[in-house]
Amino acid sequence: DAKTTQPPSMDCAEGRAANLPCNHSTISGNEYVYWYRQIHSQGPQYIIHGLKNNETNEMASLIITEDRKSSTLILPHATLRDTAVYYCIVRVFRTASKLTFGTGTRLQVML
Amino acid sequence: GAVVSQHPSRVICKSGTSVKIECRSLDFQATTMFWYRQFPKQSLMLMATSNEGSKATYEQGVEKDKFLINHASLTLSTLTVTSAHPEDSSFYICSVDAAAGDAGNTIYFGEGSWLTVV
């Protein structure tokens, strides 16, 4: 699976949008971009995934650049409960089920 | 509701003893489960792949005789930390791949199990 690079930490004011970047310059054509988050002392939680089109669900939006070498996870209205470590992972869809976690981005949402 | 359940959520054991952690797939059958370990302020590290009805596959550097994995049924995998030492204290997390489903996301994680060896 391709390697990903994320900033180690970010701050965001509550109610504002949180934009979390991820670089995956070596992504292959059949690899999807997945985002998970881990709230302290809990197991990772799935957020969203995509291949090349922008995706949106009830939790977040995922913007993937046209060359697919980077993406941005957007939490439109961050709350204190969104404080967590966010992991960007690339993998072939429904294969290679063992995930390789990078260091992720620690998002701190502040009042 | 939870798709994957781990038990216990927290356990304290004495050095030299063994402790078992269970991972249950609640909503679907899973021929493959994964065990991760996470030390404080670090990322998740894959320990092994648990295969139903066959031997587990361990990642490099993980002692198979120390971390015994049993996957006797399609809904249950167990991780036994044998002869535990304080350095084994960690957060252990399992995951399940619901590859049989049609959902876009097929990987679900348990709530994790905190192990403290004293």
A40 in contact with chain B, both atoms CB, cutoff 8 A: no
Chain B hits for A58, Cβ within 8 Å: none
Residues A17 and A60: their CA atoms lie apart, in Å, by 10
Chain A hits for B97, Cβ within 8 Å: 97
Among A8-17, A45-54, B97-106, top mean pLDDT goes to: A8-17
Q: Residues in chain A, how many?
A: 111
pLDDT at residue B7 is higher than 90: yes
How far is the CA of A63 from the CAs of A67, B38, B86, B93, in angstroms? 12, 29, 43, 29
Cβ proximity of B112 and B10 under 8 Å: no
pLDDT at residue A82 is higher than 60: yes
Query: If contacts are CB pairs under 8 Å, which of residues 50-79 in chain B contact chain A?
Result: none
A103 in contact with chain B, both atoms CB, cutoff 8 A: yes
Confidence band (pLDDT; 50, 70, 90) for B113?
Answer: very high
* Predicted confidence (pLDDT) per residue in B28-79, tens digit: 888 889 999 999 989 999 999 998 888 999 999 999 999 999 998 889 999 9
